[in-house]
Structure 1
Amino acid sequence: MQSSDPGNFFETDAEQETRKRRAAKAGNRYGNPITLKSKILAAVADPRFPSSAVLVAESAGSVRRVNLDDADNIKTSYRGPTAPVSCVAVGGPDSRTLFAGSWDKAVWSWDLTTKAPGLKYLGHSDFVKAVVCAKLGETHVLISGGADKKIIVWDIAAGTRLHTLQDSVVNMLSIQDLVVDHAASKWNEIYLLSASSDPHIRRWRIRLDAWEQIIDPSPDTPGTERHTILEHETTVYKLVLDQDTDEVDLWTASGDGTAKCLSRLKGFACDDTFHHGAHVRAVAVTDQWVITAGRDENLKFWDRTSGKLFCSLEGHYDEVTELVILRSSNGQKRVCSVSIDTTVRSWPLDKASLGAIAEEQQKPPPTADENDADEDIEDNGLMMTIDEEAELAALMEEDD
């Protein structure tokens, strides 16, 4: 019988201490945790319920819709892959198609409403780690990035490959994230930004019939060209384009322990740096806050105007993999965080509520309730094997 209990395998003293610390921390209720049965590797807002639901990528090989306001209503799932799902996106006509990149090297798709399986996009030779949707003229496209160092542009309706993007000058490593620069894009031309396991951020111009990597004048050395944006020391995990300001600056999260604001007006040169202090896996921004999270398990809220740390909140007991800003029709916002600890949590964004949580966390922690997890969630029988656990750990450490 195969066991997934780490206590049955050799562990270093440091690993034992980490496991004990996380077990002691697991019962906390900060962020109103909703517990799933497998690790959560990515998340996006559900466009049908932008203020209350997220679509999460699970290591058990499925995508699940989680309603943050109804912990009992989280069974909607999209199934097909038999390997961990590492990224999700929504796009296509009327944003009705869900896409998921998997460790099985494929991008899967489903009708978002009916859950009916759609086309499967095959072309990567290694894990698919990032997916994003866009439109070129009247053609809806899917863009995927993989551990095979390739970025592939697909015609969503036809299921065919349009382009394969690769850097021929600066060696590009495993793709970590992709984001469409809508502020720069045109009706028939997409501007794409990519992040990878090297510290370089690349910009691409994509049309239906051609693509090119964008070479800009260097903001630091007049008269020279800049092939990539190089503002970090190691892996860039996350790219976010700020939607709350006219400049639409680029925000980044990196394994060098920082999140940065790269100013569009300055040619995407660094305009501000936030020193989180550990690998930063995720960053989210509002008009008031810069929020960072990652390997140290905490969410840090920085005052956007002053750049000062307002508070650091505990809750997760393993690495945080994604932050999603949820917006209601009346303008109210909150941030959702997901983690390898299998929990989905949500946090307020008003200063009074954040301050109250920070003050509460200064008190002795609540007693852990080992029976608190939701036992009604289906796990699809695909819990990660020991080999997959080791492979995930290696992926998370690949920039060290």
Structure 2
Amino acid sequence: MSRSTDPGHFFQTDAFESTRARRAAKSGNKNGNPIVLQSKILSVTSDPFSSSSIYIAESAGCVRKVNVETRDTKTVYRGPAAPVTSVAIGGHAGAIVFAGCWDKDIWSWDRESRAVDRKYKGHSDFVKAILFARIGGKDCIISGGADSKIMVWDTATGERLHTLRDKSDTMMALQDLAIDLEDSNADEIILVSSSSDPHIRRWRISLASASQILDTVEAPAAQNNAVRDTILEHETSVYKLLFSGDDEDSDLWTASADGTAKCLSRAKNWNTEETYTHGDYVRAVVVTSQWVITAGRDEDVKIWDKSTGKLWHIYEGHYEEVTGLVLLGGEKSVVSVSIDGTIRTWGLERAALEKAIKEREDKMKGKVKEEKVQVKKSLLTEEEEAELAELMDED
């Protein structure tokens, strides 16, 4: 006997039905000039060789290179039979494409030929985040998994150099990794990690050793200086980490499930400098010299004035959670990706933003007029209107 997969054939809550109807109505919009794909997009990274291209990780088990300007989506790296969660470009002259996968492995491909290269096996759960780094003259890939472990790999040999885990042995899925370039050098890097708990951890990694950094911070006068094991500025999971700012004084930007994105000041020992209240889970944050851009579960891409902290504009278009942001064209635009399977591009130059703001204001005015008309129409039922029309005819 055949079975229906149509959600309309099953019992659903009113809230679910309302959300499904809203998304269905919203799915056809052309805001952000969408490039439509057939699977959910779980993460994105920029192409170091092209200012108009990006690499995306798809739930269909592949990595795809997309040229946003030409809309070319034909370059695909295949192999995994499970969703790909993260992507990085590295190796000698950026010749390798790396991807973290739900199958617990890290996959790699030759960037030009797209042939599968090496697989790195060691995690006991999903690989959630990866990044490429050069340590002591070696090319390395660093991975973070849902098994709460960080692993450092020699890309040339496939050897696992280090396995790191919080000293408390607390189980928390790794969410993101970032390298503090300002405090790193040729022989060792300073890695920052975030997890499904609110703590941000720092690690010192060289070829010979790897350890968690415990900072000494000032405590109240009645106490001796205390050791702060982690950076704790959020209330719950931290999904995104980003170093941005002046080359000599870059701050740490974060995005969290507590509904905020924050700037953690290097000068203030990673205490909060600015808070941007997005309003729902924040999955991504990018920063320019003028703007802070946030996005997440509420489907919106929000543009904040970096100098004042005020919300400048909201780009609407996605109809499912936004999973990643990346800047293109020297900060002229921002690209957003979503589990709705679309890639959308939004202008960041003043002229583009002013045009978008005016269009949004005109749209809102139109909605207000439409609501007023609907209120007038709703004063009589259909039966009462028919009866009134009949009376008018008699007159």
Please state how far the C-alpha of 1:160 moved relative to its aligned partner: 1.1
Please state how far the C-alpha of 1:220 moved relative to its aligned partner: 5.8
Q: Which residue of 2 aligns with 1:368?
A: none
Q: Which residue of 2 aligns with 1:334?
A: 333
State yes or no: 1:361 paired with 2:360: yes
Q: Does the 8 Å contact 1:142/1:154 carry over to 2?
A: yes
Q: What 5-or-longer segments of structure 2 have no aligned partner?
A: 365-395
State yes or no: 1:230 paired with 2:229: no
Q: Which residue of 2 aligns with 1:182?
A: 181
State yes or no: 1:111 paired with 2:113: no
Q: How many equivalent residue pairs?
A: 360
What amino acid does structure 2 have at the position aligned with 1:12? T
**Aligned-pair Cα RMSD in Å:** 1.6
What amino acid does structure 2 have at the position aligned with 1:124? H
Please state how far the C-alpha of 1:362 moved relative to its aligned partner: 3.6
Q: Which residue of 2 aligns with 1:97?
A: 96
Cα distance between partner residues in 2 of 1:3 and 1:259: 42
Q: Does the 8 Å contact 1:244/1:287 carry over to 2?
A: no
Cα distance between partner residues in 1 of 2:47 and 2:125: 27
| Secondary structure of 2:320's aligned partner | coil
* Deviations 1:242-290, CA, capped at 9 Å, x for gaps: 0555311000000000000000111111111001111101000000000
State yes or no: 1:64 paired with 2:29: no
Cα distance between partner residues in 2 of 1:158 and 1:233: 40
* Deviations 1:170-212, CA, capped at 9 Å, x for gaps: 6250000001111111111011000000000000000111111
- Do the aligned partners of residues 40 and 244 (structure 1) sit closer, same or farther apart at CA in structure 2, a change above 3 Å counting? farther
| Secondary structure of 1:360's aligned partner | helix
State yes or no: 1:343 paired with 2:353: no
Q: Which residue of 1 aligns with 2:393?
A: none
Please state how far the C-alpha of 1:325 moved relative to its aligned partner: 1.1
* Deviations 1:98-142, CA, capped at 9 Å, x for gaps: 110111111100111211111000001111000001011111110
TM-score w.r.t. length of structure 2: 0.88
Alignment of 1:159-198 (within 5 A): 159-169=158-168, 171-198=170-197
- Do the aligned partners of residues 96 and 13 (structure 1) sit closer, same or farther apart at CA in structure 2, a change above 3 Å counting? same
Alignment of 1:3-152 (within 5 A): 5-49=6-50, 51-71=51-71, 73-152=72-151
Q: Which residue of 2 aligns with 1:317?
A: 319
Task: Report the structure, 1 or 2, having the larger helix content.
Answer: 2
Please state how far the C-alpha of 1:70 moved relative to its aligned partner: 1.3
Cα distance between partner residues in 1 of 2:210 and 2:363: 57
Q: Which residue of 1 aligns with 2:302?
A: 300
Cα distance between partner residues in 2 of 1:261 and 1:302: 13
Alignment of 1:243-254 (within 5 A): 243-244=245-246, 246-254=248-256
| Secondary structure of 2:295's aligned partner | strand
* Deviations 1:1-46, CA, capped at 9 Å, x for gaps: 6765433443221111111101111111111100000000000011
Q: Does the 8 Å contact 1:189/1:206 carry over to 2?
A: yes
What amino acid does structure 2 have at the position aligned with 1:57? A
- Do the aligned partners of residues 149 and 8 (structure 1) sit closer, same or farther apart at CA in structure 2, a change above 3 Å counting? farther
| Secondary structure of 1:75's aligned partner | strand
Q: Does the 8 Å contact 1:204/1:213 carry over to 2?
A: yes
Q: Which residue of 2 aligns with 1:283?
A: 285
- Do the aligned partners of residues 88 and 243 (structure 1) sit closer, same or farther apart at CA in structure 2, a change above 3 Å counting? farther
Q: Which residue of 1 aligns with 2:276?
A: 274
Cα distance between partner residues in 2 of 1:16 and 1:53: 37
Q: Which residue of 1 aligns with 2:371?
A: none
TM-score w.r.t. length of structure 1: 0.87
- Do the aligned partners of residues 210 and 75 (structure 1) sit closer, same or farther apart at CA in structure 2, a change above 3 Å counting? same
| Secondary structure of 1:248's aligned partner | strand
Q: Does the 8 Å contact 1:153/1:162 carry over to 2?
A: yes
Q: Does the 8 Å contact 1:111/1:117 carry over to 2?
A: yes
Q: What 5-or-longer segments of structure 1 have no aligned partner?
A: 366-400
- Do the aligned partners of residues 8 and 118 (structure 1) sit closer, same or farther apart at CA in structure 2, a change above 3 Å counting? farther
- Do the aligned partners of residues 150 and 4 (structure 1) sit closer, same or farther apart at CA in structure 2, a change above 3 Å counting? farther
What amino acid does structure 1 have at the position aligned with 2:323? T
What amino acid does structure 1 have at the position aligned with 2:87? V
| Secondary structure of 2:24's aligned partner | helix
What amino acid does structure 2 have at the position aligned with 1:79? R
Deviates more, 1:211-220 or 1:222-231: 211-220
Q: Does the 8 Å contact 1:40/1:59 carry over to 2?
A: yes
